[in-house]
């Protein structure tokens, strides 16, 4: 399977200008190719595929010297991405969004395949100007295999990154014999059947709220279009980027512990986009990052040969994990203890829900009114390695 390993880049001012030329050329190729596709389809009903776009790219590089002065590999990759976007747009089963034009300053990324770059020590060669200005990579860890491609980009905080795609093999840890359900929440981030495996809520955004508000007030005082406003905007982005990095690192560490300890983990199939519409809880839900964590958990489990199963969340809180009876019609958020009138079970509401989410209990049809038909395997949304 494939994974991404991301590293910081140390880029000099001259290299920044050279990379910006590459980004600008990619934006030009995207917008021009998208315009050609749109015109041909609108007026002549002729589809413009990658082969035709690549032929036009050769003509453009012959006409524009500035376009030919930068590497061709990122420009070809842009056209491949556009071709995929167009195909997804016409997909009837899972249609994608119509490709849009990229504004100036909004495109700060470029990709090279294995034929467009090389690694020499701590240097990334071939990214700009034919390898005459190699980029220094801060190797925080070694790559597990030879990379297939690399993406160089600059984030909103002004940091430069190199993201390598490598092929890795799953680590076979064998069966541990332990399974559990996992109930996510706000008071406690994640609750399992085992008290020592529960995860507290770190609330990174709440901790950085004062610093973020201070930077935003400073940004609001700056004149639009001024150099000071650009610096204040970068400072605000750095605060947000630091919080996002904290959350991402924490998610991978916690997910790795759970994935290595448990063979199967049942999680709720939540509609988080609908949940954040609640104005009282939207900020806390966004700070928790449930969706990203569940994707990371699925990826970590996949790496070690274990499984994460997404289950129907309906009635997991109201159903008794002891006898399977639906003990209450509704359990308010203020009620933190579950009790069953049928069997007399008294349990923490989140612990009770975690037991109801155990995939083994679903397989045995323990829960009343629910079966294995509502269960589906969770497919990870990303392949970020930790």
Taking only the tens place, the pLDDT of each residue in 25-62 is 999 999 999 999 888 878 877 778 889 999 999 999 99
Determine what percent of the chain is predicted with pLDDT higher than 90.
52
Examine the domain organization and report whether 150 and 214 are in the same domain: no
Neighbours of 103 (CB within 10 A): 9
153 and 227 fall within a common domain: no
Instruction: Please give the Cα distance from 296 to 294 (Å, whole number).
Output: 5
Each residue of 93-136: pLDDT tens digit?
888 889 999 988 777 999 999 888 999 888 998 877 655 678 99
State pLDDT tens for residues 125-150. 887 765 567 899 999 999 999 999 99
pLDDT in tens, 253-281: 999 999 999 999 999 988 888 888 888 88
In this prediction, residue 336 carries a pLDDT of 81
Is 360 considered catalytic here? no
From the list 183, 193, 198, 263, the catalytic residue is 183
Residue 183, H or E segment: strand 179-184
Please tell me which residue in 193, 263, 350, 384 is annotated as part of the active site. Answer: 350
* Structure tokens that stand for 244 in this block: 């996002």
Judged against a pLDDT cut of 90, whether residue 245 lies above it is answered with yes
Contact 251, 272 (CB under 8 A): no
**pLDDT value at residue 148:** 93
Does the structure show a pLDDT above 60 at 68?
A: yes
Please state the domain count of the chain. Answer: 2
Do 225 and 157 lie in one domain? The reply is no
Of 315, 310, 308, 367, give the one whose Cα is nearest residue 338.
Answer: 315
Residue 386 and residue 238 share a domain: yes
Concerning whether 2 is annotated as a catalytic residue, the answer is no
Strand, coil or helix: 51? helix
Instruction: Round to whole Å and give the CA distance between 320 and 328.
Output: 9
Q: Within this chain, do residues 43 and 162 fall inside the same structural domain, yes or no?
A: yes
Residue 94 has a pLDDT of: 84
For the chain, what is the mean pLDDT? 86
Would you say residue 170 has pLDDT above 90?
no
Q: What percent of the chain has pLDDT over 70?
A: 92
pLDDT of residue 378 exceeding 80: no
Same domain, 184 and 294: yes
Classified as helix, coil or strand, 356 is: helix
Structure tokens at 225: 């279009």
- Per-residue tokens: 117: 């770059």
Say whether both 65 and 133 belong to one domain: yes
| Nearest-angstrom CA–CA distance, 37 and 101 | 12
* DSSP secondary structure letters along 257-316: HHHHH-SEEEEE---HHHHTT-TTTHHHHHHHTHHHHHHHHHHHHHHTT-EEEEE--TTT
- Are both 190 and 337 inside the same structural domain? yes
Among 1, 62, 4, 61, which Cα is nearest to 28's? 61
Same-domain status, 103 and 213? no
* 2 closest CA partner among 153, 138, 147: 147
Residues 205, 110: one domain? no
Tokens of 345: 């079970």
* In the predicted structure, residue 294 carries a pLDDT above the cut 60: yes
Residue 69 Cα to chain centre, angstroms? 34
The pLDDT of residue 167 is 92
268 is a catalytic site residue:
yes
Q: So what's the pLDDT on residue 369?
A: 31
Catalytic residue among 268, 287, 292, 384: 268
* pLDDT one-digit tens code per residue, 303-353: 888 999 998 888 888 888 878 777 766 777 777 888 887 787 888 888 988
Based on the fold, state whether residues 287 and 270 are members of the same structural domain: yes
| Per-residue confidence (pLDDT) for residue 257, from 0 to 100 | 93
Last residue of a domain, one of 150, 167, 184: 167
**In which element (H, E) is residue 65 found?**
helix 65-68
Please compute the mean of the pLDDT values over residues 8-25 and round it to a whole number.
93
Name the residue among 137, 192, 230, 169 with its Cα closest to residue 357. 192
Residue 381 pLDDT > 70: no
Where is the domain boundary, 102, 136, 167? 167
Which residues touch 135 (CB under 8 Å, ≥6 apart)? 9, 10, 11, 15, 123, 124, 127, 128, 152, 162
368 in the same domain as 258: yes
Tell me the average pLDDT across 196-212. 92
Among 52-56, 74-78, 172-176, 222-226, which is the least confidently predicted range? 172-176
Token pair for 72: 């061709």
CA distance 153 to 323: 54
Pairing of strands 190-191, 264-268: unpaired
Mean pLDDT of 193-218: 93
Range of the domain at 371: 173-386
Choosing from 149, 167, 185, the residue where a domain stops is 167
What pLDDT does 364 receive?
A: 47
């Amino acid at each position: 399977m494939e994974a991404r390993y991301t590293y910081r880049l140390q880029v000099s001012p001259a290299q920044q200008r050279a990379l910006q030329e590459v980004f600008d050329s990619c934006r030009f190729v995207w917008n021009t190719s998208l315009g050609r596709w749109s015109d041909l389809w609108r007026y002549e009903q002729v589809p413009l595929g990658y082969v035709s776009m690549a032929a036009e790219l050769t003509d453009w590089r012959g006409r524009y010297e500035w376009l030919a002065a930068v590497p061709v590999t990122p420009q070809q990759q842009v056209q491949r991405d556009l071709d995929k976007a167009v195909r997804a747009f016409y997909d009837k089963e899972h249609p994608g969004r119509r490709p849009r034009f990229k504004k100036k300053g909004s495109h700060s990324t470029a990709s090279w395949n294995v034929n467009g770059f090389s690694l020499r020590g701590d240097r990334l060669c071939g990214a700009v100007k034919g390898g005459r200005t190699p980029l220094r990579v801060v190797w925080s860890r070694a790559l597990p295999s030879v990379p297939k491609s690399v993406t160089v980009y600059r984030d909103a905080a002004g940091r430069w990154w190199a993201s390598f795609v490598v092929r890795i093999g799953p680590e076979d840890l064998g069966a541990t014999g332990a399974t559990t359900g996992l109930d996510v929440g706000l008071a406690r981030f994640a609750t399992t059947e085992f008290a020592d495996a529960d995860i507290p809520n770190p609330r990174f955004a709440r901790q950085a709220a004062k610093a973020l508000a201070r930077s935003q007030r400073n940004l609001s005082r700056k004149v639009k279009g001024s150099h000071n406003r650009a610096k204040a905007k970068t400072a605000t982005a750095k605060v947000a980027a630091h919080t996002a990095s904290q959350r991402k690192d924490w998610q991978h560490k916690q997910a790795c512990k759970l994935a290595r300890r448990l063979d199967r983990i049942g999680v709720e199939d939540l509609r988080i986009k609908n949940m954040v519409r609640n104005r009282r809880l939207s900020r806390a839900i966004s700070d928790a990052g449930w969706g990203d964590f569940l994707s990371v958990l699925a990826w970590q489990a996949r790496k070690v040969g274990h499984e994460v199963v997404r289950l129907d969340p309906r009635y997991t809180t109201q159903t008794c994990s002891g006898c399977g009876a639906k003990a209450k019609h509704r359990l308010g958020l203020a009620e933190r203890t579950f009790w069953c009138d049928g069997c007399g079970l008294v349990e923490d509401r989140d612990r009770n829900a975690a037991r109801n989410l155990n995939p083994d209990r679903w397989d045995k049809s323990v829960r009343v009114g629910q079966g294995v038909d509502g269960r589906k395997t969770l497919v990870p949304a990303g392949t970020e390695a930790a």
